[in-house]
Structure 1
Amino acid sequence: MSDEVDLEDLLAVLSPAEVQALVDEMAADPDDVHIPASVRTAYRCEKDSTGDLNRDSLINCINEIALNTPDQEEKVKFEPGLKRGKVYVPKYNDEELAAMAKQAENEESIRLDPEEEAALSIATLDDIMALADILNTNPQDFVMEAYADPLQYFEPDPPNTTKPEEILEKIKNNDSNTKDVCLNNIQGMSEKLICDIFEAIRGNENLTKLSAVNCDISDFAIATLCSSLEQNSTLKSLSVENNRISPDTIADLFDSISSPNNGLIELRVASQAQQAMGYRVECRIADAIKKNPRLMKIGMSLEFKEVAERISKHLISNMDKIRIKRLNDGVAPGAGVKWTAARTLD
């Protein structure tokens, strides 16, 4: 076509240096791993070769150049303790300033008296050890506490806005949208209200998860819960940690969920007022768990390793039964999981 430009005519106009620069620019590709590293850039060294590499001669040449090159004159002479040039002043936004002020306030609140700070700053390790001996504490722990970093402040959890009375009505009415109930850290609930909530669980067919941590629950309310769990097959997860439940009542709770009508698969009862349950109660709990073919997760502290091993083996056996049943039903491993294809280098 007449509109096309002849490349030969364009190249004839360019000088040899311009043609070489154009070739170097088009051939250079820093990301191409298939060409030598020397060809990946547009720079071409046109100096004559100086022969084979002599490392000692090269080092001596570099040292000679460095020694003979005069130092650049300083605009401001060096003086100890004097900052030359513009001093950097960090800039903070409002959130960072508020966080820094809060941290300083917390550090100030945990600071010792000036006399104690001064005494501790000049105290030697022997003085710290002697003070630990006077206080009848472990010297190693005392030294670690004496030289510990400032305490880190964590924001408290927001208050639980759940209204127990409304939850009770929804559970009684078998509300289909009420599947997960969280009563954690709600103080002031009467024992009658807690018992009514646990009693309403008996006939509920929609609630699957109930959490009542740090609610000051007593043995009487748990006894009501035990009778309800024996007839409830919908609830799958239950957490009553950090309450006032006695060890024998905890064992009764595990006995109740071993009923064939119960469907619970996760139970958490750790951090009660009395944590040491004793060998008799732990054996009762282990015997009740071994009768339960559904339970897979428990949260509690056990003192005796033999009991913990028995419980762990049975929980693993329960999970393995579900896996075998899934395979017998024809469900392949990983069915229903969305796999992501592996990425290649291309």
Structure 2
Amino acid sequence: MPGSRTNFFGGVRDDFKDMNANKKLYGKDLSEYENMDLDELLDQLTPEEVDILTRDVDPDDDLMPPSQRTSYRCEKDPTGPLNRKRLIEHIQQQALNEPDRPEMVPYQQGVVRGKKWIPPPPPLAEQRLEEEIALDLGDEYESALGEANENELVDLAAILGFHSMMNQDQYHASLLGKRIESDVGWAGITRATRPKPMAPEPPNMTDPEQSIERLRQDDPDLQMLNLNNIKNMSDEQIERLCDAAASNTRLENLYMSNTGLSDRHGEHLVALIEKNNTIKEISIESNFISPAMIARLVKALLKNKTVEAFRAANQRSQVLGNKIEMEITKYVEDNPTILQMGLHFEFNDARARVSAQLQKNRDRLRLRRIGRACRNSTAGFVRRQLPV
């Protein structure tokens, strides 16, 4: 391995110096090896011994190339590029041509080979569960249950929460207080029913140009802007919208879910979050924003610390990655204002830390609200006690 001897033996030399610093190893004194020349010892090794020594490497060492982190060495020259189709055909042909191994004992029908497997008896706990449980419900309850028909027992099972004992029709009928005309009983089968037609969701009729103009004029009535599901906005419109919202002092809720946002719009969103100090809720779900841009948007929330709810789930890249999740977690832990974070975390560490920080922020807000109420009640009590 050209070029690897210096790196590997340099690390060995450093480790040997560290061992000498301890002076003892397994109870043996190492002071006599302090002045030993390792280069002289390495020159005395044969090429085979050097090759065996260099195979003992750390596979997680990032300072060495990947080809030198493994002990596997193939001396055979490559025969050519990999052809997966020819390789599979060769394996199949070899499997067909290879003869079957002869059996030591020929097969005979009806002859049992070896010992017959007998299942072990169930444990005592399961045997006790299988036994009938005798309950004394009283004469009144026993007579009522004994004379009840199956439909009445179905209603009783729904009241007690035994949903697994009922089919779907029985369950919904018991919830709505309806009676099932046919006596289906416990063995009733739910037949397929035609689904009820649902009216399609009406389109969003918000005019982006009118919204931009109202944002520029700082309209006091425009506190919530809903642009969800509007996919025909151009890049120039989104840029003007973000610029107008950045200088607005009335807007509190901005919804831009499923509007085709991507990283080219992310810079304008970052500027919007950093400049606007009145907005409290932002939703940009179901778009095409990358995990790195989401981390930048979460970092921008630290500028004014006024946003209480931020939702950016269901993007093109469903998985954020460990590095991005840890970065977002750090930004959330530094934000004392955020109360809701609409993101999906794959790793339990990030999910637990973000949840703990959000709960801490809610508790801080609740204590502040309780303290304000106590101060107001105390001030009112003092005013009532003062003479007029």
Q: TM-score, normalised by structure 1?
A: 0.51
| 8 Å contact kept, 1:230–1:262 | no
Measure how far apart 1:148 and its partner are.
8.0
Paired residue for 2:322? 279
Q: Contact 1:232–1:262 at 8 Å: present in 2 too?
A: no
User: Which runs of no fewer than 5 residues in structure 2 stay unpaired?
Assistant: 1-190, 377-388
Work out whether residues 305 and 338 of structure 2, in 8 Å CA contact, stay in contact via their aligned partners in 1: no
The aligned runs of 1:210-229 (5 Å cut-off) are 210-229=254-273
Task: State how far apart, in whole Å, the 2-side matches of 1:280 and 1:153 are.
Answer: 45
Amino acid at match of 1:274: S
* Distance of 2:193 and 2:350 partners within structure 1: 39
* TM-fit CA distance, 1:331: 3.8
Contact map agreement 2:256 2:285 (CA 8 A) in 1:
yes
TM-score (norm 2): 0.46
Does the aligned pair in 1 maintain the 2:289–2:316 contact within 8 Å?
A: yes
Seen in structure 2, the aligned counterparts of structure 1 residues 223 and 324 have a Cα distance that, compared at 3 Å, is same
How has the CA–CA distance of structure 1 residues 316 and 214 changed in structure 2, closer, same or farther, with 3 Å as cutoff? same
Say if 2:215 is the partner of 1:177: no
Shift of 1:152: 6.0
Q: How many residues align?
A: 188
Conserved 8 A contact 1:241-1:271: yes
Say if 2:322 is the partner of 1:294: no
Output the amino acid matched with 1:192: E
Percent sequence identity is 31
Change in 2 beyond 3 A, CA 1:306/1:153: farther
The whole-number CA distance in structure 1 between the counterparts of 2:279 and 2:301 is 11
Matches within 5 A, 1:134-213: 153-213=197-257
> 2:375 & 2:361 partners in 1: Cα distance?
19
Would you say the 8 A contact 1:198–1:221 is kept in 2? Answer: no
Q: CA deviation at 1:249?
A: 0.3
Deviations 1:85-117 (A, max 9, x none): xxxxxxxxxxxxxxxxxxxxxxxxxxxxxxxxx
State the alpha-carbon separation in 1 of the partners of residues 266 and 279 from structure 2. 15
Alpha-carbon distance in structure 2 between the residues aligned to 1:194 and 1:295: 25
* Structure 1 Cα separation of the partners of residues 262 and 212 of structure 2: 18
**What's 1:117 paired with?**
none
Per-residue CA deviations over 1:113-168 (Å, capped at 9, x if unaligned) read: xxxxxxxxxxxxxxxxxxxxxxxxxxxxxxxxxx9876665332101110000000
Alignment of 1:1-346 (within 5 A): 153-259=197-303, 261-331=304-374
Deviations 1:251-277 (A, max 9, x none): 000000012x24100011011111111
Partners of 1:148 and 1:285 in 2: CA distance = 47
Which residue pairs with 2:115 in the alignment? none
Deviations 1:158-210 (A, max 9, x none): 01110000000101111111011110111211011112111212111100101
Q: Which amino acid aligns with 2:335?
A: N
Given that residues 305 and 336 in structure 2 are in contact (C-alpha distance below 8 angstroms), is that contact kept between their aligned partners in structure 1? no
* Superposition deviation, residue 329 in structure 1: 2.4
Contact 2:283 2:311 in 1 (8 A): yes
1:264 and 1:148 map into 2 onto residues whose CA distance is: 48
Q: Which runs of 5+ in 1 are unaligned?
A: 1-146, 334-346
Aligned residue type for 2:228: N
Residues 310 and 218 of structure 1, relative CA distance in 2, 3 Å threshold: same
Q: Provide the rounded CA distance (Å) in 1 between the counterparts of 2:357 and 2:269.
A: 24
| C-alpha contact (below 8 Å) 1:231/1:262 kept by paired residues | no
Highest RCO, 1 vs 2 (Cα 8 Å, sep ≥ 6)? 1
Match of 1:251, SS state, is helix
Over aligned residue pairs, what C-alpha RMSD do you find? 2.2
Measured in 2, the distance between the counterparts of 1:242 and 1:152 equals: 28
